[in-house]
Structure 1
Amino acid sequence: MAAPVSPNVVVKWNGKEYTISDINDTDTVHDLKCMISKQTGVLPERQKLIGLKLKGKVPADDTLMSVLQLKAKTKLMMVGTREETIAAANEKPKDMDEVIDDFDVEEDDIQTEKREEFLEKIQRRVKDYEIKVLNEPRPDKKLLVLDIDYTLFDHRSVAEHALELKRPYLHEFLTSAYKNYDIVIWSATSMKWIEVKMKELGVSSHTDYKLTFMVDSSACISVQTPKYGMVDTKPLGVIWGKFKQYTTTNTIMFDDLRRNFLMNPQNGLKIRPFRQAHKNRDKDKELLRLARYLEDISSLDDLSHLNHRQWESYKPPPKS
């Protein structure tokens, strides 16, 4: 019997870790995927293993595991969806980009925002990524950057119309925020799909507030993390490099995934994800509470010193 390459491989998927044991020299990458499939239910052809590399490239399925020379307790992240989940979500447009949202990253785990190679990626985005301004930035306004999926919209539940999946108090929240903040949408999907969502939700045509611009997945960058391998993130430096009035001192971003704040941890607020809209839309008041928080901090000269993890207990300074 061939000796195992390593005692085990740990695969993280959907918030859980799965230990794959007894990997032999004669096993291939496809064999590994089959072992993973037995534990997760995700078919081998649906799996994308992040962190598994051969000479800097993704190894072919027929690559022998012995060639990869994995270390003991190698950790990988898997992106993939069970067949039944795909069937339940088949109402999504075919050209919609899939968002990797199977895990989260604690800010304390990884300090990446000062890594030179990642800063260079941001500078390339500043140079190459084109932003279409919908409404001119307003003088003296702070900047609010908003995710869509699970932040403003439950993109997995099934409904006859997108309005049924809209987060409660969305328009009230945006109307309130617009008084003090320019509003930008940044979603890790295609611009086409962002535009469709904003139209169906009534955001792009609302008369009480206006979007300054929208940003799609092309402005994201990939960063290498010790724990999770290569992940995508949303660097606010892309916006700051193009619009000098927006800086780390006057910008706040809401997202349901903390990994999207890796390049700007002081500016990110992790919102509670809005899922199961039909069950939770009568009791979800997250946006109402966040509207009050935005109002409370709007008079501050510098937002970067705030600990947004403690936003619910924030006490505004007394008015003079």
Structure 2
Amino acid sequence: MHCMKGFHQNGGKQNSMKLLRIICRMGIYEYTRIPFGIKNAPAYFQWMMDTMFQDEILEGWMVCNFDQQELLALGPKFSGLSLEIDQSQVAALLQKPVPKNIKEIQYSLVFASYYRSHIKRFAHIASSLYKVCSKGVVFEITKERRDAYERIKHELTNAPVLILCDFKLPFKLYIDATCSQGLGPALHKRQIVDGEPRDGVICYISRQLKDLEARYGATHTELLCLVWALEKLHYYLDGVVFKVYTYCTALKSLLNMKTTNRHMLRWKIAIQEYRGNMTIIYKEGKGHTNAVGHWIMSKATQLRTLK
């Protein structure tokens, strides 16, 4: 059964439908189906959906398996503390050769994208394959695209095991953004394994930079990554205390700097609701190579503070 028309597929009682009559210049009209905007329509529609699926729920108990250590559901493999890719599900993609047309590339990308939360910087890895699917681009399997396809298959077979969320333990948001590779934040969490705390990955998210965003400096790109990560992961981070780890030394100073830049003002407003629960920590590493730019930005902030 397809419920594509929502309330209009539900009939009402005849003595109630007369209350929904409409008067216009062409006469008086009466609904024969439940219209949108009626107070009790959502509750009735939900009751209808629950009733429709009730037989499947009752029959489902006949095929249930109890006292299981692992469970396969909608592709991933669930356990008590983790979520991992079921290799039997990706076996078909691993056995496929390099795609020979756009349809095969699109199929492979849709399939791999279902597991993109397991793959760090998936958007950057698959960027060359997405480009060849764009309009006006001549189809050609270059070495770069062939390597990208093989890289995706490799990442699927070696994807990390994601941990399930426990809101009693602290979150860690790692910000990773570069002008060449786009945005690639990751959400981590401390997990108790065998009585010892360990860091585990909850999910990876990623996307490429738009044309205008690619012109931003390193520090602004890092701030954009933070804003986008908070927007995408708000269902994890709303109302909880968490730490943000960044390779950009000037990010913390940038948030406290007075500015009239419209992008900065909009981003600072978006972050404002998290400022009380968020702690930004500088993490040394390879991250950005624009160390001089970060130093100048931090010094400029100090001079403005002295003034």
TM class, shorter-length:
under 0.3
Considering Cα pairs closer than 8 Å and 6+ residues apart, tell me whether 1 or 2 has the greater RCO.
1
If the length of structure 2 is used for normalisation, what is the TM-score?
0.26
Larger radius of gyration: 2
If the length of structure 1 is used for normalisation, what is the TM-score?
0.25
